[in-house]
Structure formats: structure tokens, C-alpha cells
């Protein structure tokens, strides 16, 4: 896919099925930088390259997870994961989850996160999912602005969502109805009271 451009930068988001050592090293550096700045990745403390490399290698092996990598001028600077429901969960097979979205602090403000979320939405829709769910700490105000600007509906708040350095943090739950890649639009009214 050809990169988009923002001013003087090339922006690219790709679903990846493999990463070479140099790409993995860049991605781990970006991830640790995001964790140090304040997270968004679940981890509170920086993990170091080896632990993060193990994480990403593991992610690439899990069939239910798809990894999307954001690149600024060709260099991996962030990622997101699309989590698909397990095969036994037929009743919720129409939905999927967007998790672990972040861009390294040194690559922010170029529009990469917006592109990252859009690519995950397009992929989820192409796979037949009609709902994308996500949740975010209440303290991640930039992400909240982004998700709400992209049409995510805040449907609930968990008062004890996370523990960060000894403090309990609340979290917001969002969903978005996806446009079908083809076929009928989802009518969520039809799902009420039908088991």
C-alpha cells in the first residue's frame, strides 16, 4: 500500500504477519517510549527490548490477533491489535476489539493514530465484523478525543478499571458500528430481546 504523506512525512499502516529483527527492535523502542510517557499499552513500567520482542513474536503466532504497525518514514513507531472473538463465541462473532493502540511520543501529531484506527476498522469490516469495541483509561485524554472524533460511542465507565502506581483509575468503554464492506447494514434494534 502506498504511504500517505503529512507535510514532509510518509505515513503507512500495515497489517503484519512477520517482522524482521530491525523492525522488531524499532517497534520495541517505540513501545517502551510510549510506556515511559504514560502508557496505553497495559504495561505501567518499561519492559525492555527482550520482553517486548517476546510479546510481539507471541502476538504474531496467535490466530485470533492481528497486528497493525504504523510507520513514519518507513520506521515502525507504533502499533495496534485487532482481537477477534474465539470460534466458540458464535453469538458475538459479529464484534471484535481494538486493543493496545499507541504511537511513540516522538512520532505523534502526524495523523498516524487516526490512520491506524481506520485501517483496523477497515480490516474488521472486511472480516465481517459489524461492531468494534475498545476501552481506555480515563486518563488517556488524547486517545479519548481521537476515538470520540472518529465516531466511537461511550456506553459505560468502569470505576475500578486499572491500577497505576498504587492508584485506581477508571476506564471508558466504547463501541462503533462498522460499515459493512458489502451487504446489509447492522440494525442493532433487531438484536433486542431475541436471546
Residues of this chain that interact with ligand COA (CB under 6 A) are 34, 40, 101-103, 108-114, 136, 140, 142-143, 145-146, 149
Residue number, 71 or 129, with CB nearest to ligand COA: 71
The per-residue DSSP string of 132-165 comes to EEEEEETT-HHHHHHHHHTT-EEEEEEEEEEEET
Extended strands (E) in 7-94: 9-16, 65-72, 75-83
- Residue 149 CB, shortest distance to ligand COA, in Å, is 4
Around Cβ 119, how many Cβ atoms within 10 Å? 19
- Residue 127 CB, shortest distance to ligand COA, in Å, is 20
Residue number, 67 or 136, with CB nearest to ligand COA: 136
- Containing 42, the helix (H) or strand (E) segment is none
Cα 181 from Cα 161, distance rounded (Å): 33
Residue number, 96 or 103, with CB nearest to ligand COA: 103
Residue number, 48 or 109, with CB nearest to ligand COA: 109
- Residue 71 CB, shortest distance to ligand COA, in Å, is 12
Are 35 and 98 contacting, i.e. CB atoms less than 8 angstroms apart?
no
- Residue 107 CB, shortest distance to ligand COA, in Å, is 7
Amino acid at each position: 500500500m502506498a504511504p500517505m504523506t503529512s507535510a514532509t512525512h510518509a505515513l503507512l499502516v500495515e497489517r503484519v504477519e512477520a517482522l524482521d529483527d530491525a523492525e522488531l527492535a524499532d517497534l520495541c523502542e517505540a513501545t517502551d517510549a510510549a510506556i515511559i510517557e504514560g502508557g496505553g499499552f497495559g504495561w505501567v513500567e518499561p519492559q525492555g527490548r527482550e520482553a517486548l520482542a517476546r510479546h510481539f513474536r507471541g502476538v504474531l503466532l496467535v490466530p485470533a490477533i492481528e497486528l497493525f504497525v504504523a510507520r513514519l518514514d518507513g520506521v515502525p513507531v507504533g502499533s495496534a491489535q485487532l482481537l477477534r472473538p474465539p470460534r466458540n463465541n458464535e453469538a458475538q462473532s459479529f464484534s471484535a476489539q481494538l486493543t493496545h493502540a499507541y504511537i511513540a511520543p516522538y512520532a505523534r501529531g502526524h495523523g498516524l493514530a487516526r490512520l491506524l484506527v481506520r485501517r483496523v476498522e477497515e480490516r474488521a469490516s472486511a472480516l465481517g465484523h459489524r461492531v468494534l469495541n475498545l476501552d481506555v483509561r480515563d486518563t488517556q485524554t488524547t486517545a479519548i478525543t481521537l476515538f470520540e472524533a472518529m465516531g466511537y460511542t461511550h456506553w459505560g465507565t468502569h470505576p475500578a478499571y486499572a491500577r497505576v502506581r498504587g492508584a485506581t483509575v477508571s476506564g471508558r468503554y466504547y463501541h462503533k458500528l462498522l460499515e459493512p464492506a458489502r451487504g446489509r447494514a447492522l440494525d442493532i434494534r433487531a438484536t433486542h430481546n431475541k436471546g
